[in-house]
Chain A
Amino acid sequence: AQKITQTQPGMFVQEKEAVTLDCTYDTSDPSYGLFWYKQPSSGEMIFLIYQGSYDQQNATEGRYSLNFQKARKSANLVISASQLGDSAMYFCAMREAISGSARQLTFGSGTQLTVLP
């Protein structure tokens, strides 16, 4: 079974609108962390936001927020007030404490976001 599922291969959003990128995960580990990374066309991986499984509140970082619904095993990324520079591939990833070093990441297949002017 896929551990991280991103069902939207591509998304379009108008500049200044908000957009939600979906991510569902599968784990039996009670202690885990969820990450979102941005990969622009230049190729580097840019860390955006992190949510721990025991965190009581949804994580926020500037225009990024993570809509964490533990019972549904979903960790959607919300980008508010989209900018042209937000056009990129976005990856959801999970770290499970049972995965040996507790630092290994399992990635989804990504969502290509295009912001339209």
Chain B
Amino acid sequence: NAGVTQTPKFQVLKTGQSMTLQCAQDMNHEYMSWYRQDPGMGLRLIHYSVGAGITDQGEVPNGYNVSRSTTEDFPLRLLSAAPSQTSVYFCASSSLGGASYEQYFGPGTRLTVT
């Protein structure tokens, strides 16, 4: 199992550009989520999904879109990048069934917006 994979690892964007951060998991997890991590702060939830076709907003959703067309993939789209979106982005997944509680995190994408 590859677990949770994210691409790219690093990205530099100019203000106003759009891009998609990719996230995939091979554990058949229903739940997937995106977090951002800023210096001196913990991770904050951007969007999450409890299954294909179902997404919802987290704490800091503005400027980001998501979709979930398959169980495996959960891409995060930046519509018009802003310097305030410079951050490290983590994707995570988890099973919703049984007593499982652990969230598995991807390696992160470091995004810089100039």
Check if B74 is an interface residue, CB within 8 A of chain A: no
**Tally of chain B residues near chain A (CB < 8 A):** 26
Closest 10 CB pairs of A and B: A107-B42, A45-B105, A103-B31, A107-B43, A101-B50, A103-B94, A43-B108, A108-B42, A109-B42, A47-B102
Within 8 A of B (CB), among A88-115: 91, 93, 95, 100-110
B 93-114 to A, binary, CB cutoff 8 A, 1 in contact else 0: 0101000011111011010000
List chain A residues, Cβ under 8 A from B33.
103-104
Within 8 A of B (CB), among A41-78: 43-45, 47, 50, 52
B103 touches A47 (CB 8 A): yes
Identify 7 new A-B residue pairs, CB closer than 8 A, beyond the known A43-B88, A104-B45, A105-B92: A37-B105, A47-B102, A52-B101, A93-B43, A100-B48, A101-B48, A101-B56
For B59, give the chain A residue with the smallest CB separation: A106
List chain B residues, Cβ under 8 A from A110.
41-42
B40, B42, B108, B110: which has the most chain A beta carbons within 10 Å? B42
**Tally of chain A residues near chain B (CB < 8 A):** 24
Q: What CA separation (Å) do A15 and B50 show in the bound complex?
A: 42
B 26-57 to A, binary, CB cutoff 8 A, 1 in contact else 0: 00000101010000111111001010000010
* CB < 8 Å neighbour of A45 from B31, B90, B94, B96: B90
